């Protein structure tokens, strides 16, 4: 398996770290340099990777946790609660439900969420920017699917408003500490003995056009794309979303079948093949990362693929992953 995975990555001019899951057993297989200039290899214990939009299911899961905790109190809320409860100043908030925020069907269509603005934002300032930016553009009618990071930045703010603690504190207590994750951080908490990787493109040769995620860019995307981890830790998160560590199976079903979904996306992930396959893809503007997972919903087979060198677009990267998935368990997975 190891030589096969590495050969597929090599043949497609891709580099990165993967976890393949076969019959319930995860295995890390990596290839190439995470930081070419310093010769730090992918899969090195010191490297933690950006998850980009693969973080969104974590944020959404924390909202469901809080929903459960508040259910028998005066602070009770559900997927149908209007977000004007937390953001009365937000345009159209009286018509937007929490579920629509989670499923990108809020109608919010703010722009330039990933363009590095060169400011190191606090959580509160990142949320304020999201509100101001959303208010600057007339929203679409709620119910319209429009994928936008602003939805999840606002969810991070809601988590703070409900819990009385920062997104960072909730993340560390509810996810990192709960699962005992040793390699999972929000960007600002990455320790001095860890490093995030450089991203590259293939252009005639390997390791071209180096780009990395800056502190300022990460700070803009609280709750949406500021989590860094390893593919093995991310596998543990995926398992934790339905085994009771983060959510139980009933909670996971609730999260992935919200009434506000307009397609097969709900709660930060896509479900396919009669809910037997789950997946999500992420990257960040200005970088070359290709972050993707596709697993069976029972967590027994699949692939978590964190690429830091990519060749081609999102579809090309998924085709690389699909080739690996067909080797793990043929006739099970989907090409996109």
Average pLDDT over residues 62-87: 98
Record the pTM.
0.98
Share of the chain above pLDDT 70, in %: 100
pLDDT at residue 257, rounded to an integer: 98
Could you report the per-residue pLDDT of 308-333, keeping only the tens digit for each? 999 999 999 999 999 999 999 999 99
**How big, in percent rounded to 5, are the helix, strand and coil portions of the chain?**
40, 20, 40
Interatomic CA distance for residues 309 and 240, integer angstroms: 29
The sign of the torsion formed by the CA atoms of 147, 168, 235, 220 equals positive
Dihedrals phi, psi of 29, to nearest 5 degrees: -135, 125
Averaged pLDDT of the chain: 97
How far is it, in rounded angstroms, from Cα 293 to Cα 311?
18
pLDDT for position 336: 79
Contact call for residues 18 and 29 (beta carbons, < 8 A): yes
CB neighbour class for 295 (10 Å; exposed up to 12, middle 13-18, buried from 19): buried
What is residue 195's DSSP assignment?
B
The dihedral of CA 98, 52, 167, 91: what is its sign? negative
Residue 208 binned pLDDT confidence (cut-offs 50, 70, 90) = very high
* Residues ≥6 apart with Cβ < 8 Å to 123: 156, 157, 160, 166, 167, 168, 222
Q: What is the mean pLDDT of residues 292-318?
A: 97
What's the rounded Cα separation, in Å, for the pair 5 and 196? 22
Convert the pLDDT of each residue in 269-289 to its tens digit: 999 999 999 999 999 999 999
Residue-wise pLDDT for 121-175, tens only, equals 999 999 999 999 999 999 999 999 999 999 999 999 999 999 999 999 999 999 9
Quote the CA–CA distance of 235 and 127 in Å, as a whole number: 29
What 3-state DSSP class applies to 334?
Answer: coil
pLDDT (tens digit per residue) in 100-114: 999 999 999 999 999
């Amino acid at each position: 398996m190891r030589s096969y995975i590495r050969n597929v990555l090599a043949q497609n001019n891709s580099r990165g770290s993967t976890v393949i899951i076969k019959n319930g057993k995860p295995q890390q297989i990596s290839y190439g340099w995470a930081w070419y200039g310093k010769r730090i290899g992918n899969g090195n214990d010191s490297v933690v990777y950006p998850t980009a939009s693969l973080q969104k299911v974590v944020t959404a899961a924390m909202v469901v946790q809080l929903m459960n905790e508040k259910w028998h109190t005066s602070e009770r809320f559900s997927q149908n609660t209007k977000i004007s409860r937390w953001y009365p100043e937000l345009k159209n908030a009286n018509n937007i439900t929490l579920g629509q925020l989670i499923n990108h069907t809020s109608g919010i269509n703010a722009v330039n969420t990933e363009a590095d603005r060169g400011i190191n934002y606090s959580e509160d300032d990142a949320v304020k920017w999201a509100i101001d930016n959303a208010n600057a553009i007339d929203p679409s009618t709620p119910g319209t699917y429009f994928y936008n990071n602003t939805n999840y930045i606002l969810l991070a703010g809601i988590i703070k408003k409900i819990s009385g603690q920062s997104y960072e504190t909730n993340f560390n207590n509810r996810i990192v500490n709960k699962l005992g994750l040793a390699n999972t951080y929000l960007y600002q908490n990455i320790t001095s003995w860890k490093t995030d990787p450089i991203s590259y493109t293939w252009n005639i040769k390997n390791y071209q056009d180096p780009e990395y995620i800056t502190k300022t860019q990460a700070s803009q995307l609280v709750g949406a794309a500021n989590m860094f981890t390893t593919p093995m830790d991310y596998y543990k998160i995926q398992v934790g979303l339905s085994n009771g560590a983060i959510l139980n199976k009933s909670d996971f079903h609730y999260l992935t079948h919200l009434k506000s979904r307009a397609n097969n996306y709900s709660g930060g992930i896509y479900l396919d093949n009669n809910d037997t396959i789950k997946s999500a893809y992420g990257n960040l503007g200005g970088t070359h990362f290709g972050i993707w997972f596709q697993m069976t919903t029972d967590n027994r087979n699949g692939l978590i693929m964190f690429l830091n060198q990519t060749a081609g677009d999102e579809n090309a990267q998924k085709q690389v992953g699909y080739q690996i998935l067909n080797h793990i368990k043929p006739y099970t997975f989907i090409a996109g």
